[in-house]
Amino acid sequence: MSTIKRISLKSLLLDESNPRIKAVHSQSACLQAIYDDKPEQFKKLLNSIIEKGFFKGENILVVRHPDISSKYIVMEGNRRISALKLLHNDAREIKKCKASKDLHKHITKFPAKVKEETKYVYCTIYEPDELNSLYNEISTRHLSNQTSRLEWPPVRKAKRDRDINNVYSPALELIEKYLVDHPENTVEWELRYPITILEDYLKPLAEFLGYS
């Protein structure tokens, strides 16, 4: 059963397989990619935390690290945790991140009171046998049209719908077959390609060919 616990910010690791960004292999690269994805929105998030404190209305969703018992991987809330890690700016890997230098003026404005309050963050911990529940919660938060969050890239959103909700997308299948032969385009297509354009073309074509 999932449990709620206040976890040290230092024990929380960003998800290096986060579907919003390209695949990375370090925490500093992950933080940089999250910042680069939407820099202006990220700055607004930093300013909000500086001025109003950290939003506690929704817990960060995490899983236990498979190899390090004291660590947890953030599955939902990576932008918020990235912002906190930058503002705290007390980890060597974070300090060498380019975003840390770019956002130095924001970091210097971080109130000591808020810094103290955010050394620990409320998280919901999911166990290995609860991953379906975790993914359902992530889907509810991210894939709903009523959500105020930043949208996932369309192709990766379609992948998530397929893998979790068994939603078949012929457009996604066509794209994935193309990327098998053109792997150099994978990152660009997964992050930027507007899959709905392809879906709009495939629908009348399928009808013309007699498929429904």
Tracing tokens 């991953």 back to the chain, one arrives at: 131
Buried b (16+ CB within 10 A) or exposed e, 132-144: eebbebbeeebbe
pLDDT tens sequence for the chain (212 residues): 899 999 999 999 999 988 778 778 899 999 999 999 889 999 999 999 999 999 888 899 999 999 999 999 999 999 999 999 999 987 777 777 888 888 988 889 999 999 999 999 999 999 988 988 888 787 777 655 444 456 667 777 787 778 777 888 888 888 888 888 887 777 677 666 778 777 777 777 767 667 65
> How confident is the model at residue 76, as a pLDDT?
92
Global pTM?
0.73
> How confident is the model at residue 143, as a pLDDT?
56
> How confident is the model at residue 148, as a pLDDT?
47
> How confident is the model at residue 68, as a pLDDT?
94
φ/ψ bin of 210: left (φ > 0), alpha (ψ from -120 to 50), beta (otherwise)? left
| Two structure tokens written together for 40 | 């202006």
> How confident is the model at residue 67, as a pLDDT?
93
Alpha-carbon span 134 to 141, nearest angstrom: 11
> How confident is the model at residue 147, as a pLDDT?
44
